[in-house]
Amino acid sequence: MASPGQKVVLITGCSSGIGLRMAVMLAKDEQKRYHVIATMRDLKRKDKLVEAAGDAYGKTLSLAVLDVCSDESVKQCINGIKDRHVDVLINNAGIGLVGPVESIPIEEMKKVFETNFFGVIRMIKEVMPDMKKRKGGHIIVVSSVMGLQGVVFNDVYAASKFAMEGFCESLAVQLLKFNVTLSLIEPGPVHTEFEAKMIQDVKQKEYPGADADTVHYFKNVYLPSSVDIFETLGQTPDDIARCTKKVIE
């Protein structure tokens, strides 16, 4: 439980990558300014986080189950927090999807929107009333450079992030008078499971029917040089966590 004066920070998707590092960095803040509720959909995936958190686990870091695709899970998680009080909500959970549109079933595309778009909205809907009532709070959304610029074979993923940016830009205006800030973090390529899966998928898939030049461009030009193509906040999860911590401070 948070001590007096500590900000309650809830982060989604803390089993790996950027969310895990954000949780650890904030929980290990030298001035102990934060109590981090690190959430994940399956607590069987907690070991890496618990190990990285070290002494902070059980003190400035606690765990909770949360699947952003489930209304019930989101409600249960927020109801489990004392007074439903969250000072900082970090919407980090997200999934990717790579390939030519013709070969991807609509159901897989819907899953991307369900997680990256509606998952964030579900969380915001649940914490916003309390933030408005208290006249204070900070909502952070981990978007992507692909929320600003489309990339070949990332059509649906980029669309989910574009949609999120439109939602956030509009909502941010409404929240201003309640002293609630909404910030977008837009990383370029970051070395995480997400990135590894994307590269593996691309290498393995043949993309029958897709234009050969486009496949060649994506596999041989875009992927090997993507870090240079996009200006990035840094390439490691720690870089993104550090940037997010600065945004909160």
β-strands 61-65, 34-40: how paired? parallel
The residues, any chain, with a CB within 8 Å of residue 69's CB and separated by 6 or more, are 111, 114, 115, 118, 119
Which has the closest alpha carbon to 243: 90, 33, 50? 90
- Looking at beta carbons only, is 60 or 91 nearer to ligand NDP? 91
How does DSSP classify residue 59? T
- Looking at beta carbons only, is 73 or 181 nearer to ligand NDP? 73
| Residues 144, 142: Cα–Cα separation, whole Å | 7
Chain center to CA of 132? 23
The least distance separating ligand NDP from the CB of residue 227, rounded to whole angstroms, comes to 10
Cβ proximity of 202 and 219 under 8 Å: yes
Q: For this structure, is 157 an active site residue?
A: yes
The least distance separating ligand NDP from the CB of residue 121, rounded to whole angstroms, comes to 13
- Looking at beta carbons only, is 135 or 197 nearer to ligand NDP? 197
- Looking at beta carbons only, is 6 or 235 nearer to ligand NDP? 235
The least distance separating ligand NDP from the CB of residue 240, rounded to whole angstroms, comes to 7
Crossing angle of helices 155-176/119-134, nearest 10°? Answer: 10
Q: Which residues here bind ligand NDP, judged by CB under 6 A?
A: 12-13, 15-19, 40-42, 45, 66-69, 92-95, 115, 119, 142, 144, 187, 189-190, 192-195
The least distance separating ligand NDP from the CB of residue 191, rounded to whole angstroms, comes to 7
By three-state DSSP, how is residue 109 classified?
A: helix
Catalytic residue among 34, 57, 157, 207: 157
Residues designated as active site: 157
